[in-house]
Structure 1
Amino acid sequence: MFSPSIILHFSLLCLCLAFNLVFVTSNLCHEDEYHALLHLKESFSFFKRANTYYPITTNNTRSWKRGSDCCEWDGITCHPLTHHVIALDLYNNGIVGTINSNSYLFQLGQLQRLNLSWNDFSSSNISYIFGQFHILKHLDLSYSYFSGKVPFEISQLTRLTSLDLSGNDLEFSNVKLIISNLTKLKLLGLSGIKLETSHIFQTISNLSSLSYLNLEGCNLQGEFPTSILNLPHLKQLNLGYNDAINFHFPSLYNWSSPLESLTLSYSNFSSNIPSFFARFKHLKSLYLQSTNLRGTFPTWVWNISEKIDLSHNELTGSLPSTMNISKLSSLTTLYLGKNMLDGEVPAWLFSLKSLDTINLSFNNFRGSVSLYQVFSNLPKLRSLFLSNSGLSVTITNGPVNSSVISTLANSLQNLGLSNTSIHGEFPKWLQQLIRESSINLLDLSSNSLTGVLENLPWGTLNYIEISNNKLTGRLPIISSPNTQFFLAANNNFTGPIDSSICNLTSLWVLDLSNNNLSGDFPHCLGSLSNGLNLLNLGSNNIHGTLPITFSKCDSLRYLDLSSNRLQGKLPRSLARCTNLQAINLKSNKLKDEFPYWLHTLPFIRLLDLSSNSFHGHINTVSGFHPYPALQILDLSSNNFSGKIPTTYINKFQAMTRITEHHGFPQYMESDVPMLWPYYSIMLTFKGVQLPYEKIIETLSFFDLSNNAFEGEIPEYVGQLIAIQGLNLSHNRLTGHLPPSIGLLSSLDSLDLSSNMLSGSIPHELVSLTFLEVFNVSENQLEGSIPQGNNFDTFSSDSYKGNLALCGKPLPDCGRNSMPFVNNDEDDSEDHGSILKVWETIVMGFCSGIVVGMAWGYYMFSVGKPYWFIKLTDKMEFALLDYSSNLVYRRGRSASTRRNTN
C-alpha cells in the first residue's frame, strides 16, 4: 500500500503533466515563428509552372492560414519536443520575390533543413542566407536565381551534411577555404558554378564522407585526379559538360571504388578510355551522352544494371542477337539515340520487364516493331522514342486487351514515333490510351496516318506533333490548358480554326501551316499567351484582318502568316512584340504603307512583305539605326514607288558586316529549349523560288523587285557587303550601274533586269567571284561587257534587250560597228528578215491603197479632201522612214559580222 503522501505527490505530478500536455498540444507552434512564416508568405508572389522541363508547381503555402498550427502546414517540420520549426521545404513552389537582410526567413533560427530550390528569387544576394542558421544540416538553394559571391560564413556551418548551390549565378572567392572545413558533407552540388580546377579537386579529395558530388558545367580543366575515385563512400559522380577535362585511368588502378552512378556527358575522351568503364564493379548507371565515342558498340555496356545513356555519339555496329536477360532484369533506362547503329533490334530488348525508357531514335536499324506488342510486354513503360530510327512501326487496328491499355495508362508519358512508316487510320485503341493516360508528349509526325481526329480527346498532352501526315477533316480540338506545343502542319485539315484555340493560354508553339484551313483569322491569337514563341499559319486559306491589338507577345520570335488571304492593314501594336526575329506575311492581300514603325524592333532579322498591295514611298526614318539586325528584306511584288530608300540602306547594320561562323553552320532558330524546327522561308533566289527549310545565320538578302521604284541606284548599296542576293528588277530605275556594287564580295545573285538603266557595265563587277546569277536584261546599257572570272560563264540571256551591248557572249565590238543583241542569226536569216519586212510593207501598202481609194472617194464626195490628204502624207512618210531605218540597221549588223569573220 502507498502512503497518502506518495499518492498525493503522484496525483499532483499527473495533474502537472496533463496540464503541460494540454498546454503544449494547444500551442505547438511558437508565436514568433508563426508570424514570421505568415509574413514570409505575404512577401512573395507566385506563378504556375507546368511544362515539359520543370515539374508541376506545388504551392505549400496555401495551407499557411491564420489561426491554424504552423507545425501542421505543408512544407513545415517542427521539433517533436521543443516545437520549433526545424525544416522549411518550399521546393518548386512557384515563388517570385527577393530575400534581403530584413527577410522574415531569418527569424527561423532553429532551422536544420532549408530547401528553397526551383523558385525565382530575382538575383537575391546569397550572402544574406547564412547569418542565423548555425545548426543547419541541409541547405538546398539550387536553381532559384540567387547571385553574388558565396560568403565565407558558410564554412562555419560545420554541421552541414548536404549543400546544393547548383544552377545559380554564383562564384567562390576561395573555394578551398569555404569547403574544406565542411568535413561532414555527404552531398555537394555546385553545378554551373565556375570553379578553380586545382583548388576544387584538392579540396574534394579530403571530404571522406562524400557520397554525392555534382560538378557539372563548372568549366573544369586539366587532368581529372583519380584520387577522387578513392573516396570510400562516393557513389554518385557528375562531371558532365566539362569538355576541357582530361581523363586518364592508369592500368594498375585499384578498381574497388564504390561508385554506382557516373555522369560524363558532353565531355571528351581519349580513345582508350571506354574499356576502363568495365572495371567499375558496382556501376549501375552510366551517362556518356555526347562524349565523342566512336567505334563498334562496346559489349561491356551490358554489365551496367540500371541506366545506360550512350546517345549522341558515333557508335556503329548492331545490338547482340542473344542475351542473358537475367542480368538485365533491373534495367530501367536505355538511351542509344543519335548514333549510327544498324541491324535488327533483337526481340529480347522488348522483353525486359523493368524498362521504363527506351530511346533508339536517329539510327539505321531495320525491320519492324509492333507498337501494341511492345506495350503488352513492357507494363512499366513511360517513354518510347523510335523516331527516325530506321524501324517501321506497325499499329494494329483490331480489338486489343483492355487490361493492357489500363495498365499502360498509369505509366506512359512520352511517345515519339516520327518517321516510322506508320500508315492507315489513327487506331481507336491509341485514342483510348491517350484519353485515359497522363501522356505528356506525342509525336506521330512524318508518317502516313489518315482519318479524322476532330473528336480525339487530347487529355493532359503538353507536346502534340502530328505534322506531315494525311489527316483530314476539321482541326482537332485541344482541351488541355497546359498544352504548350501544337504542331499539325502539312496535313489536309479543313474548315475554320475552332474558337477553343483561345483556351490554350500556355502555348509556346503553334504551327498549323500548309493545310486547307479557312475562315477568319482568330483575333485571340494576338493576346493568347505571354509564352508564345512561334506562330505559323502559313499556306492556308485564312482570310479576314489581323487583330488590332497584339498585347501578349513579349516572347514571340517567329510570325508566319504567308500565303493566305488576309486583308487590311498591319496592326501598329506589332511594334510591342519587341523580341520578334522573323515576320513573314508574303502572298496575302494586305494593303498599307511601308511599316516604318517596325524599325524599332531590335532583333528583327527577317521581314517578308512580298506579293501584297503595300504602296507609297518608303520615307526617311528618324531612328538612328533602323532595323539593326535585319538580314533578309523582301518587299517584291508590291506597289512601292519613289526612290530606293537610301537612309535604310545606309544603316542596315547586319547587312553591312560579314559574320563568320567556324565549324558547323549556324541557323536561325527558335529559342524554345527543345528540339524544334528552324525558321524557314521561300525566297526568289538565283532566278528561281527556293524553299529555305533552314535559314543559315549568314544568309542576307535584299529584294525590291516588281515595284515602281525610280531614280538611280544609290552608291550606298555598296555598303551591304554581307548580302548574297540583290534583286532590283522590274522597276523604273534609271542612270548608271554604280561601281560600288563591286564591293559586294558575298554576292551570289544580282538581278537588275527590266529597268531603264544606261551606260556601261562597271568593270569592278568582275571582282564578284561568288556571282552565279547575273541579269541586266531589258535595259539600255551599252558598250563592251567586262571579261574575266564569272563573267566568262554568263549566257547571252543575261544581256538581252540591251541593243548597244557587245562583247562575249554577244558578238565582238567592231571598230565602226553598232552591235545589237540579235546578232546570233546567220546572214540568210538577216536577208530573210529583211524580205519579211518588205513583205509586210508591201502588204500594208496594197491594203492601204484599197482602203485609201474608198476613203478618198468618200471624202471627195463630201467636199473635204484637204486634211485627209495631209494626214495620209504624214503616215506614208513615217512608215517609209521606220522601214528604211530597220533595214539599214539589220544590214549593218550583218555587214559587221562578215567583216569580223
Structure 2
Amino acid sequence: MGLFLQVLTVLVITVSLQGWVALGCLEEERIALLHLKDSLNYPNGTSLPSWMKADVHCCSWEGIVCNSSTGRVIELLLGSVRNQELGDWYFNASLFLPFQQLNVLDLWNNSIAGWVENKGGHELHKLSNLKYLDLGYNRFHNNILSFVEGLPSLKSLYLEYNRLEGLTDLKESLSSLEYLDLSGNNINKLVASRGPSNLRTLRLDNITTYGSSFQLLQPLGAFPNLTTLYLESNDFRGRILGDGFSNLKNLEYLDLSSNTLDNNILQSIGTMTSLKTLDLVGCKLDGQIPRAQGFLDLKNLEYLDLSSNTLNNSIFQTIRTMTSLKTLILEDCSLNHQIPTTQGLLNLKNLEYLDLSSNTLDNNILQSIGTMTSLKTLDLVGCKLDGQIPRAQGLCDLNHLQELNMHDNDLNGFLPPCLANLTSLQQLDLSSNNLKIPMSLSPLYNLSKLKSFDGSGNEIFAEEDDHNLSPNFQLESLYLRGRGQDAGALPKFFYHQFSLQYLDLANIQIKGEFSNWLIENNTYLHQLYLENCSLSGPFLLPKNSHVNLSFLSISMNHFQGQIPSEIGARLPGLTVLLMSDNGFSGSIPFSLGNITSMQVLDLSNNNLQGQISEGIGNMSFLEFLDLSGNNFSGCLPPRFGTSSNLRYVYLSRNKLQGPITMAFYDPTEIVALDLSHNNLTSTIPEWIDKLSNLRFLLLSYNNLEGEVPIQLSSHQPEDTIPPNALLNG
C-alpha cells in the first residue's frame, strides 16, 4: 500500500506540474513574447494589451496557442497586429528562435518590409517544426524566398500581395512545400525547374505579368503533383496554356475566372484528364464551343461554372458527354427562349446542382428538367419565366430536390397542388413574382422537410376556409412581405410552429391584436418584421425573457397604450427596435436603457411624453436614435450615452425646452443632429464646433441665438442647407 501511495503521489505531482506549465508557459518563451510585443509596437504602438509582464500565464494571451502537455508555444497568430500608422516593420528572426515547437506563424498584414540583417536569419532552420507561415499582405521582395528556404518542415507558405516582381525562383530547398500563394505580386516569370516537387496547391490570382502570360505559366509543368491551381483575375489573353500543362496529370481543380480567353483554351484543358472542378466565370468566351474536342474529354469533371460568358444554346450538346458532372452553373450566359437542344442535359444523370439564372428561358425547359431526378438544387432566378407553374408539370417530379429558387420571374396564378410531391424540399424561394399565395401555406403542408419559404412580393391572400390541419413542416425562416393586401387574421398554422428564427409578415393587413404567443412559441426567434400590418390594441410582451430576439419592427401599425415597462427584461437581446408611427403614449420605460446591445432605436411619431429617459444613456452600442414627432418636454438629457458609436440623433417636433446642454461621449462621430421644431432657448453651444463629421444639422423653429461656428460650416457638403439658415423659422 505504501508503494502505491508513493506512485500515486508522483502521478498527481506530475499531472499538476503539467497543468501548471501548460497554463503558465515556459519563462524563456514568455520573455521572448514580451520582446516580440515591443518590436511589433515600435516605436509607440499599443497592440497586444493582454501581453503583460506581470502575467505568467502567457498561454492565455491573445494570439497564443500552447501544447497542452509541454506548455510550449505551438502557434503565433499575429495577423494585422501592428498599427499601419507606425510605418514599416523589419522582421527580427532571432525573436522567434526560442519557440522550438512552433508549428504555425501568422504575420499577415503587419507592414513587414524585410528583415534585420545578422539577427538570426541564418538560424531559421532551427524552427524545424514550422509547417505554416503566413507573410501575406506585407512588403517583402523576391529575396524572401531565400530567407524561408531553410525551413525544413514548411508545408504552407502565404506571400500574397507583397512586392515580388519580375523573375521569381522557387527554390529547390522548399522540398516539403505543399501550398504556395503568390497572388497579387508583379511576377512575369517563374523559374521552377528544381522547385518544390511536392507542391499540391498554387495560387497565382491577380498577377500583374508585365509580359507574356505564357512565360509565367509554362514552368508550372514542373509540378507534377499539383492538384489545385488558382489563376483568377489576371490579364491573360488568348492562348495561355503551353505544352508544360500536359504534365499536370493530377490537376483536379482549375480556376481561370475573370480572364480574357478564347475558345481554344478548352482544347488545352482537355489534356488534364483528372480535372474535377473547372471555373471559367467571366472569361469572355463566346459563340459555340463544340469544336473544342479536348473539352469533351473531361470525363471526370464534376463541377463546371461557365457563368457570365456569351454562349449559345449549343452548350447543352457540348457537355452531354460529361456524365460525371454534379454541378453545372450557366448563369448569365445569354441562353434564350426555347432550348431545343436540352436533350444534352438529360444525359447528365449525376447532376445535383443546376443554375440557369439570368437567362431568357421558356417554361418548356421545366418539362425537360423534370426528368433530371438526381437534382438537389435548381436555380432559375430572373429567367423571365411567365404563366402558371402548373404548365411545368415536370418540375413537380423532382422528388430529390432540396432547394428551389425561382424568384424574380413573372410567374402568376396559384401554387400548384403538385408541389406537395417535392417531399425532399428544404428551401423554396418564389419571391418577386405575381403568384397568389395563401397565407396559410396550405399547398405546402405535405413538405415535412421544408425549413425556409420566401413568398415576398407576391399577392398574399386569406383562404376562406382556415382549416385546423397542422402542417408537417417546422419552418426556421418565413418571408411573406406583401403588397398591402388584406390577409385576414393570423392563420392557425402558426400555433404549430416552434422553430422560427426569421419571420417577415410586413405589409400584410393582418389586423387584430398582436399575438404575443408568436414570440413565446418560438424561443429561437431572431428577427420579426410586422410593420404596416394594421395591428391594434396594446403591445403584449412574451411572459418570459427571450434573449435571442435581436430585431423587432412593429412600425406603422395602430398600437395604443404604453410601451410595457418590463420590455428591457423580456427582450434583453434587441439590437434593433422599430416602433414608429403608432399611438404609444406615456413615457419611455427606464428598463429600455438596460438593453445595452441596442444599436437602432426608433420611437418616432407616437404620443410619448415626459422627459427623455436618461436610461437611454446606458445603451453603449447605440448608433441611431429617433424620438421625433412625440410630446417630450423638459430639458435635453445632459448626457447622451456612453456609446462611442452614436451617429444619428433625431429629436425634432417635440416640446423640449431650455438650453442645448446635451453632451456626447464622442462628438466627432455625430453625422446627423436634428433638434428643430422645439422650444429650445439660449445660444448655440460651443461644443457644436467639435462635430467634425456632421453632415446634417437642423436647429430651426427654436428660440436660439447666435450662429453656427464657421469651422462647422466648412464641414457641410454642398447639397445640405447652410447651417446658419436653420436657426430660426
Q: TM-score, normalised by structure 1?
A: 0.50
Deviation (angstroms), 1:410: 7.8
Question: Which structure 2 residues correspond to residues 496-895 of structure 1 after superposition, within 5 A?
Answer: 496-526=587-617, 528-530=619-621, 532-550=622-640, 554-571=644-661, 573-574=663-664, 576-594=666-684, 598=688, 601=691, 603-616=693-706, 618=707, 621-622=710-711, 626-633=714-721, 707=729
Deviates more, 1:466-475 or 1:121-130: 121-130
Deviation (angstroms), 1:331: 2.7
More helix by share: 1
CA distance in 1, matches of 2:274, 2:551: 41
Q: Deviations over 1:759-817 (max 9, x none)?
A: xxxxxxxxxxxxxxxxxxxxxxxxxxxxxxxxxxxxxxxxxxxxxxxxxxxxxxxxxxx
CA distance in 1, matches of 2:539, 2:630: 19
Question: 1:269 aligned to 2:333?
Answer: yes
Change (3 A) 1:629 1:429: same
CA distance in 1, matches of 2:430, 2:76: 38
Identity of aligned residues (%): 25
CA distance in 2, matches of 1:330, 1:588: 63
CA distance in 1, matches of 2:428, 2:583: 32
| CA radius of gyration, larger in | 1
Match of 2:302 in 1: none
- Matched-pair contact (CA < 8 Å) for 2:436–2:460: yes
Question: Which structure 2 residues correspond to residues 128-147 of structure 1 after superposition, within 5 A?
Answer: 131=148, 135=153
Count of residues in correspondence between the two structures? 573
Deviates more, 1:515-524 or 1:544-553: 544-553
Match of 2:429 in 1: 359
- Matched-pair contact (CA < 8 Å) for 1:572–1:597: no
- Matched-pair contact (CA < 8 Å) for 1:565–1:589: yes
- Matched-pair contact (CA < 8 Å) for 1:333–1:357: yes
Match of 2:375 in 1: 305
Match of 2:512 in 1: 424
- 2:528 aligned partner, one-letter code: L
- Matched-pair contact (CA < 8 Å) for 2:647–2:672: yes
Deviation (angstroms), 1:455: 1.8
Question: 1:284 aligned to 2:284?
Answer: no
Question: 1:334 aligned to 2:352?
Answer: no
CA distance in 1, matches of 2:73, 2:328: 33
Q: 5+ unaligned residues in a row in structure 1: which ranges?
A: 1-18, 45-60, 636-644, 646-702, 708-901
Question: 1:384 aligned to 2:453?
Answer: yes
Deviates more, 1:534-543 or 1:103-112: 103-112
1:347 is matched with which residue: 413, 417, 423? Answer: 417
SS at structure 2 position matched to 1:424? coil
Change (3 A) 1:503 1:619: closer
SS at structure 2 position matched to 1:320? helix
Change (3 A) 1:31 1:500: closer
Deviation (angstroms), 1:147: 5.8
Q: Deviations over 1:534-558 (max 9, x none)?
A: 3323323333443434565554443
Change (3 A) 1:246 1:254: closer
CA distance in 2, matches of 1:453, 1:516: 15
Question: 1:246 aligned to 2:332?
Answer: no
Q: Deviations over 1:204-238 (max 9, x none)?
A: 977654555677xx864565854698555555566
- 1:160 aligned partner, one-letter code: E
Match of 2:585 in 1: 494
Change (3 A) 1:123 1:76: same
CA distance in 2, matches of 1:185, 1:572: 65
Deviates more, 1:247-256 or 1:151-160: 151-160
Match of 2:300 in 1: none
SS at structure 1 position matched to 2:700? coil
CA distance in 1, matches of 2:497, 2:73: 39
CA distance in 2, matches of 1:270, 1:546: 60
Match of 1:470 in 2: 558
CA distance in 2, matches of 1:278, 1:355: 22
CA distance in 2, matches of 1:482, 1:228: 57
- Matched-pair contact (CA < 8 Å) for 1:111–1:136: no
Q: Deviations over 1:136-174 (max 9, x none)?
A: 556799xxxx964579688857653697989x9996455
CA distance in 1, matches of 2:670, 2:204: 27
- Matched-pair contact (CA < 8 Å) for 1:575–1:598: no
- 2:525 aligned partner, one-letter code: I
Deviation (angstroms), 1:364: 1.8
Deviation (angstroms), 1:283: 3.6
Change (3 A) 1:324 1:556: same
Deviation (angstroms), 1:500: 3.2
Change (3 A) 1:501 1:620: closer
SS at structure 1 position matched to 2:608? strand
CA distance in 2, matches of 1:293, 1:451: 48
Deviation (angstroms), 1:366: 1.6
Match of 1:761 in 2: none
CA distance in 2, matches of 1:428, 1:519: 28
CA distance in 2, matches of 1:582, 1:334: 43
Deviation (angstroms), 1:583: 3.0
CA distance in 2, matches of 1:310, 1:74: 47
Change (3 A) 1:188 1:428: farther
Deviates more, 1:31-40 or 1:565-574: 31-40
Change (3 A) 1:228 1:445: farther
Change (3 A) 1:528 1:536: same
Deviation (angstroms), 1:184: 4.3
Q: Deviations over 1:288-335 (max 9, x none)?
A: 66x475775952666472233444665544433664678533333333
- Matched-pair contact (CA < 8 Å) for 2:405–2:428: yes
- Matched-pair contact (CA < 8 Å) for 2:183–2:206: no
Match of 1:260 in 2: 326
- 1:631 aligned partner, one-letter code: D
- 1:440 aligned partner, one-letter code: H
- Matched-pair contact (CA < 8 Å) for 1:261–1:284: yes
Superposition RMSD in Å: 5.9
Change (3 A) 1:38 1:416: farther
CA distance in 1, matches of 2:336, 2:602: 46
CA distance in 2, matches of 1:602, 1:200: 54
Deviation (angstroms), 1:405: 6.5
- 1:97 aligned partner, one-letter code: V
CA distance in 2, matches of 1:612, 1:452: 34
Change (3 A) 1:412 1:540: same
- Matched-pair contact (CA < 8 Å) for 1:609–1:634: no
CA distance in 2, matches of 1:604, 1:162: 47
- Matched-pair contact (CA < 8 Å) for 2:24–2:56: no
Change (3 A) 1:634 1:626: closer
Deviation (angstroms), 1:370: 1.0
Match of 2:81 in 1: 97
Q: Deviations over 1:819-865 (max 9, x none)?
A: xxxxxxxxxxxxxxxxxxxxxxxxxxxxxxxxxxxxxxxxxxxxxxx
Change (3 A) 1:320 1:380: same
CA distance in 2, matches of 1:188, 1:85: 35
1:485 is matched with which residue: 576, 598, 601? Answer: 576
SS at structure 2 position matched to 1:489? coil
CA distance in 1, matches of 2:532, 2:434: 17
Change (3 A) 1:493 1:559: same
Q: TM-score, normalised by structure 2?
A: 0.60
- Matched-pair contact (CA < 8 Å) for 1:484–1:507: yes
